[in-house]
Structure 1
């Protein structure tokens, strides 16, 4: 039987939507986005299928989508801050301000400096003092080169006058496994809430403006004397040139889904606060952050070439 194409007048969507997560399954964004997709699917009347395609700090899959996917709303992707930062660190095959359609801003990852419960360091000062005594001996992990966790720790190392050994990973699940296995000493990333609850690790500091609601005893880097605040906004994007009506339909369904109880629970588990941005505001924010990242990378002198 020959398939009959959907009539151009049919309302979007008329078939399943693919949502690309640029990290491995089991990471911090995986549970959240699956909950969001399930809730939005009810409103859209079509399933949103999650596809994990890790690589290059979360930039490989969105860049591939921009080059090869039709701007019809049936393929969208999660965007992370690294997408705006990487062009300032190395040659890339995408333009973050022109190759994407910004659909909706969702939240920001909550980053922490995490160690195993049996680590010798009880405070961040303990860890930095040890790093000062043993340059390059302490290894820390984060998701990809140029990621927010990587850049934040390099900023901290510079401010503290120490040298740390960075180990890149494809996703937070891998970082967690290697921390618990003793292959690295420090975890500098998001998604640490669940493992802290298990009692197997402790958080030396968090990188946000304020202490986390569930862990009020954990100080911020600013409280410890380091003027470093890491907010790594995430949102959903599509290829450039999407029909505004399709963007609006996706946006509205996803905005409604942000209040779904399962999604809210997934956010709370990782101490993330919703940071909603509409389509136009999200695009404007991306442009501002792209410019800020250029200045910051120049100041730090970080390059991946």
Structure 2
């Protein structure tokens, strides 16, 4: 239920019975029932809430957010709309958030690339200064994939192929310049003096179809590759997690292969800077309930994801640490201000 400040009860206020009757009437017409206290007092929210995703519609993040949004709407008593703004390596929701009023009606997913982008290139927005943390949701499973018919049977096969073919014949697709897959593969290849041709895509589905068709030799992406692996169209060579996944226990991690890299790219929901504390609490409570909804948990499992919940304060601290960690990574790789 939304939290609103106490105020004197007016004669115009609806009675509890009237609120319940109004909610029942809305439900009968297929509309979400409004939370009675919120509707009666005119508090937040009294219109739909929008969450901007910096990824295309139909991908893993989009689908899980839509299930979560539906669950959150039941608590908030208002529709929660998922809006897509793909491109620029997962950072295009940030300008929208920066320009939005701090009233709780405009939110965004904050992915790891948004914490990296300001160190790669000049941006007019700042992921810490211009946001109010609401909650962390989950992290993603990254994987290195090749077509099922590829002669590359392991990650070591991939490195050996790159060593023999010293030009840039090796084409590797990621979900954008400056994204976690791009930074990880750049670091791995830079260490070994290996070359490749980077092919960025806006969306997971488009990228995975290109890999399956052999348009590119290798794809590195998160979560959305699961159906392609399970259907036998793609072969998963390695994952980026701390441990092997429960879904593909036979697939090694980059860490255990001796490459010393762990990346799971946690993400969460943020609002504009200056979001009032009562609105943060209302949104947090609604989305915390939503991420634990059985339908959302089941959708996460489709993509081998697990919850990584953090509340506003802990999430804020995690974002600040991650932002500084990204600065160190970008500087170490020599990618600062100009990308790669």
Smaller-chain TM-score bracket: over 0.9
- Counterpart check, 1:38 vs 2:52: no
- Counterpart check, 1:186 vs 2:225: no
**Counterpart for residue 21 of structure 1:** 53
Which of structure 1's runs of 4+ aligned residues deviate more than 4 A?
Answer: 6-9
Pick one of 239, 252, 260 that aligns with 2:285: 252
For the residue of structure 1 that corresponds to 2:43, the secondary structure is coil
CA deviation after TM superposition for structure 1 residue 65, in Å: 2.1
Contact 1:55 1:61 in 2 (8 A): no
- Counterpart check, 1:129 vs 2:169: no
Pick one of 79, 103, 111 that aligns with 1:47: 79
**Counterpart for residue 168 of structure 1:** 200
The TM-score, its normalising length taken from structure 2, stands at 0.85
CA deviation after TM superposition for structure 1 residue 265, in Å: 1.5
Larger CA Rg, structure 1 vs 2: 2
**Could you list the runs of 5+ residues in structure 2 that have no partner in the other structure?**
1-37
Contact 1:20 1:50 in 2 (8 A): yes
**Counterpart for residue 57 of structure 1:** 89
Deviations 1:72-91 (A, max 9, x none): 11110111011110111111
Alignment of 1:1-305 (within 5 A): 10-67=42-99, 69-135=100-166, 136-191=168-223, 192-303=225-336, 305=338
CA deviation after TM superposition for structure 1 residue 8, in Å: 11
**Counterpart for residue 18 of structure 2:** none
Deviations 1:46-103 (A, max 9, x none): 1101111112111112222212x11111110111011110111111110111111111
Contact 1:144 1:168 in 2 (8 A): yes
Partner Cα distance (1:260, 1:114) in 2? 31
**Counterpart for residue 33 of structure 2:** none
CA deviation after TM superposition for structure 1 residue 11, in Å: 2.2
Deviations 1:228-284 (A, max 9, x none): 111201101111111111111111111111111221111111111211110111111
Partner Cα distance (1:10, 1:142) in 2? 46
Contact 1:112 1:203 in 2 (8 A): yes
Contact 2:98 2:273 in 1 (8 A): yes
CA deviation after TM superposition for structure 1 residue 167, in Å: 1.0
State the number of aligned residues: 299
Partner Cα distance (2:188, 2:298) in 1? 31
Contact 1:102 1:236 in 2 (8 A): yes
Contact 1:155 1:228 in 2 (8 A): no
**Could you list the runs of 5+ residues in structure 1 that have no partner in the other structure?**
1-5
Contact 2:131 2:271 in 1 (8 A): yes
CA deviation after TM superposition for structure 1 residue 7, in Å: 9.7
**Does 1 or 2 have the higher relative contact order (CA < 8 Å, sep 6+)?**
1
